[in-house]
Amino acid sequence: MSRERWNAVDAYTAELLIGADEALDHAVRSSAEAGLPPIAVSPNQGKLLYLLARMHGASSVLELGTLGGYSTIWLARALAHSGRLVTVELDPAYAEVAAANIQRAGLSSVVEQRVGPALDELLRLQAGGAGPFDMTFIDADKKGTPEYFEAALELSRPGSLIITDNVVRDGALIDPDTQDPGVLGMRRFQELLGADRRAGGRVSATTIQTVGSKGYDGFTLALVGG
Ligand SMILES: C[S@@+](CC[C@H](N)C(=O)[O-])C[C@H]1O[C@@H](n2cnc3c(N)ncnc32)[C@H](O)[C@@H]1O
């Protein structure tokens, strides 16, 4: 099955089930015009995040990796009344693009942007007594994922949901010879989850492979508190 086929199926279903969306479409366009890499979640994946947040009744969400704010907008729209979303981005220029997109989407009062390395910001959030967050979306640099997950756990409560993107990496996840730091990060992450399960399980987790316009990759979903 070809990548063109995955793209075509994503386009077909996104047109029917999502359609045009001024704020989201603008976020994609303005991010491209500003030279941001095209690595946001796809529309179908963004809507999955939105639906998961809604099903979960989330009113507080933590996101690592803002980029141009595309997934931020999806998640912020899902929040229950008087909800709050904190999103962290390393690159100040990306955060500026995101700020404009979030404002255009009418979500500035809901979203708090933080600029800096994810781990520093996570520790700052912990020190400031933030959380617990109902849901965390981990989508920053891939090599730091295990550390981000541990820190996100500290900012969670029993019943919180932690979603991590890009865990399968074209199947390289199971390549024993990989030297790719991002893939190695994801292997450490899966192994951390395996060790956690064998030790009784602070979380109950599963990893789902996906194909589509973002290629072949996957998400890990972890429910805190077993
Ligand atoms: C895959 S993109 C995020 C995409 C975004 N969640 C979306 O779907 O619209 C990853 C982002 O993480 C940021 N990033 C990379 N290293 C980081 C770090 N150490 N701390 C925080 N953000 C980081 C990158 O600059 C990039 O914007």
Whole-angstrom distance, CA of residue 215 vs CA of residue 226: 31
Phi–psi pair at 21, nearest 5 degrees? -145, 110
pLDDT in tens, 184-226: 999 999 999 999 999 999 999 999 999 999 999 999 999 999 5
Question: What's the token pair of residue 216?
Answer: 């072949």
Q: Which of 25, 66, 163 to mutate to test the pocket of ligand 1 (most atoms within 8 A of CB)?
A: 66
The pLDDT value recorded for residue 220 is 98
- Taking the CA of residue 118 as reference, the ligand 1 atom at the shortest distance is 20
| pLDDT above 90 (res 1) | no
Instruction: Give the distance (Å) from ligand 1 centre to CA of residue 199.
Output: 31
The pLDDT value recorded for residue 82 is 86
pLDDT in tens, 144-181: 999 999 999 999 999 999 999 999 999 999 999 999 99
pLDDT-derived band at 112 (thresholds 50, 70, 90) equals: very high
The mean pLDDT of 131-155, rounded to a whole number, is 98
pLDDT in tens, 58-77: 999 999 999 999 999 999 99
The mean pLDDT of 10-24, rounded to a whole number, is 98
Whole-angstrom distance, CA of residue 71 vs CA of residue 78: 11
* Ligand 1, atom 19, residue with closest C-alpha: 117
The pLDDT value recorded for residue 21 is 97
Ordered strands of the 60-64 beta sheet: 111-115, 84-89, 60-64, 135-138, 161-165, 217-224, 203-210
The pLDDT value recorded for residue 214 is 93
pLDDT-derived band at 2 (thresholds 50, 70, 90) equals: confident
Residue type present at position 34: A
Instruction: Give the distance (Å) from ligand 1 centre to CA of residue 142.
Output: 9
Task: List the alpha helices (DSSP H) in 34-157.
Answer: 43-55, 70-78, 92-104, 118-127, 145-154
Q: Is the shortest distance between the CB of 76 and ligand 1 below 6 Å?
A: no
Instruction: Give the distance (Å) from ligand 1 centre to CA of residue 67.
Output: 5
Q: Other C-beta atoms within 10 Å of 89: how many?
A: 28
The pLDDT value recorded for residue 80 is 77
pLDDT-derived band at 81 (thresholds 50, 70, 90) equals: confident
The pLDDT value recorded for residue 42 is 97
Whole-angstrom distance, CA of residue 141 vs CA of residue 118: 9
Instruction: Give the distance (Å) from ligand 1 centre to CA of residue 140.
Output: 4
Whole-angstrom distance, CA of residue 26 vs CA of residue 33: 10
